[in-house]
Amino acid sequence: MPQLLASLPADLWTVPYAGSRYPGSPAATARPDLALGANCQLYAYEVLRHFGRRLPPLRSAELWADRAATREVSEPAPLDLLLYSPDGTAYGAHVGVWVAEDSVLHLCREVGHPALWHPDDFAARPRYRRLVGVKRALPAP
């Protein structure tokens, strides 16, 4: 397991997948803790928050377009966000967190709980086969 994840709280390893709990959703706004689950973005943002990086409740297309809280980078570093989709577009893209060389922490419906995948694992699945790109959270102003 990547060293970065040694400090991840146990409860972040047991979050169930819940597609209706996304950033800014009524369900996530009313009860922001992840005990009732999260989608990939909400989960990724909570992982970043644990490490002191806060992002606004952006959906994937908004995250990709954002230049205020994030910036696009060509090579991932720990805690960067990777966006995957079937066609390379950001709308509805799946979001994971780069945690170490060739390790992406994410939450998906297929597995149902947080998982570590190699980038090839995403490429092998039609719904995640294309990397849209990599975003890095900027320090808070």
pLDDT band at 57 (very low <50, low <70, confident <90, very high): very high
Q: How far apart are CA 118 and CA 98, in angstroms?
A: 10
Whether 141 shows a pLDDT value over 90: the answer reads: no
Q: Model's pTM, two decimal places? A: 0.96
pLDDT at 101: 87
Whether 120 shows a pLDDT value over 90: the answer reads: yes
Q: What domains are defined for the chain?
A: 10-137 (3.90.1720.10)
pLDDT at 140: 80
Whether 133 shows a pLDDT value over 90: the answer reads: yes
